[in-house]
Structure 1
Amino acid sequence: MMIKPLLLAGALSIGLLSGCATDANRVPEITYEAAANSPFVATNYRAADALISQFRASPDGGPLIVATVVNIDALDQSSTLGRLISEQVSARFSQRGWAMVEMKFRSAVYMKRGEGELILTREIGEVARLNKAQAVILGSYGVSGTVVFINMKIVQPGSNIVVAAYDYVLPYNNEIRSMLVRSTR
């Protein structure tokens, strides 16, 4: 009869200990405050500000087009990371008074399903002409062992001359890895 209470106590102890181990390994949920203070958006805004400071044109000179930031090793592919960088750079230019052409609503641009606004060099001139854009903002990213290198450029569509450029680095952490996993082909 004494065995049953000992077995029950042992089973309860094991259950409690395994519950503690699960909680210890669980990643805590991020709060709204912590999410609002994420350096990801601020880093992309700094990149846009750096491009704006180099660009020797006026917001009155015509709209700009932002192409999706693409994988440097596969220029016809992007990811959640590339699309978010493009969106945030476009938002920052808009906040700074630049007219931005929203390519998602245009039928004149080749849109690869799931990739965003991919613009190859041969297409830049035609897309810019159709949209009366004074420049196109392009970018690429490359993944290293511990970081992701980002290169952003502003290109004159008629001549393909780079008129502004900025490089920056993101940590290859869980947040960035999760955005790279969600790529589409």
Structure 2
Amino acid sequence: MKAPALTACLIASVAAAGCATDAARQPAPEITYAQAANSELVATNYRAADALLAQFGGTSAGGPLIVATVVNIDALEQSSTLGRMISEQLSARLSQRGWQMVELKLRGSIYMRRGEGELILTREISDIARTNKAQAIVLGSYAVGASFVYVNLKIVQPGSNAVLSAYDYVLPANQEVRTMLGRNTGR
């Protein structure tokens, strides 16, 4: 290869590398409202609430339901933005389906840990349910895997702790979910 041709190739290579670096520095395009509306997280949590109700067998006339914060299975006293959001979406869906829901965030007497949400301790479930005349409590946990977040939900009868309904589902451990878990690992 002659010197001018070699020089041209080197300049082209450096320019191409510079373009690639510039492209890598570009921020990701912002999500649009249309793209946000197509997010599957809310729909997935709504399907989970519907599946719980389909198995439950209770009636909305039997008394309100209480939704506890969905917690980390490896540390039951801890939750995350994801766990709290799942709980909020479950409560919203149950309310949409005609169930009276007890909003625990408005009650000062409920055990609450700052930043964790409405974590209900086992010994408090019967008292809270009795005070609110609740027929059942929705409980849940999640486990974080390498590629997925596994969610388990149950409707439990206060007093006896009998499981009246249960549903398992899986969320992708994508960037959005990892961020809500506080595990923005950049996978």
Q: Which portions of structure 1, spanning 4 or more consecutive aligned residues, are displaced by more than 2 angstroms?
A: 16-23
Q: In structure 2, what residue type is equivalent to 1:50?
A: A
Deviation string for 1:26-48 (max 9, x for gaps)? 32211100001100000000000
Q: Which residue of 2 aligns with 1:101?
A: 102
- Secondary structure (helix, strand or coil) at the match of 1:54 reads helix
In 2, the alpha carbon distance for the partners of 1:166 and 1:120 equals: 21
* Superposed displacement of residue 157, structure 1: 0.3
Matches for 1:78-117 after TM superposition, within 5 Å: 78-117=79-118
Q: CA RMSD in A?
A: 1.6
Match of 1:168 in 2: 169
Q: What are structure 1's unaligned runs of at least 5 residues?
A: 1-9
Query: Which residue number in structure 1 is paired with residue 73 of structure 2?
Result: 72
1:138 matched to which residue of 2?
139
What residue in structure 2 maps to residue 22 of structure 1?
Answer: 25
* Residue 113 (structure 1) shift: 0.9
TM-score, normalisation: structure 1? 0.86
Q: Residue type matched to 1:96 in 2?
A: R
For 2:178, give the aligned amino acid. R
CA contact (8 A) 1:62 1:99 kept: yes
Give the secondary structure class of the aligned counterpart of 2:120. coil
CA drift at 1:122: 1.6
Number of matched residues?
Answer: 168
Aligned to 1:3: none
1-side partners of 2:169 and 2:180: how far apart?
A: 17
Structure 1 residue 108: Cα displacement: 2.3
In the TM superposition, residue 57 of structure 1 has moved relative to its aligned partner by: 0.8
Deviation by residue 1:127-166 (Cα, 9 ceiling, x = unmatched):
1111111100000000011100000000000100000000
- Could you tell me the TM-score, scaled by structure 2's length? 0.85
In structure 2, the residue matched to 1:157 is: 158
DSSP-derived class of the 1:78 partner? coil
Note if 1:36 corresponds to 2:50. Answer: no
| CA distance in 1: counterparts of 2:67 and 2:156, whole angstroms | 10
Alignment of 1:44-63 (within 5 A): 44-63=45-64
- Distance, in Å, in 2 between the alignment partners of 1:21 and 1:134 is 54
Deviation at 1:123, TM superposition (A): 1.3
User: In structure 2, what is the equivalent of residue 6 of structure 1?
Assistant: none
Cα displacement (A) at 1:20: 4.1
Offset at residue 22 of structure 1 (A): 2.2
Determine what percentage of the aligned residue pairs are the same residue. 67
Residue 74 of structure 2 aligns to a residue in which SS? coil
- For structure 2, which runs of at least 5 residues remain unmatched after alignment? 1-10
Render the CA deviation track for 1:42-63: whole Å, top value 9, x for unaligned. Answer: 0000000000101111101110
Give the aligned partner of residue 5 of structure 2.
none
Say whether 1:129 aligns with 2:127: no
CA distance in 2, matches of 1:164, 1:20: 50
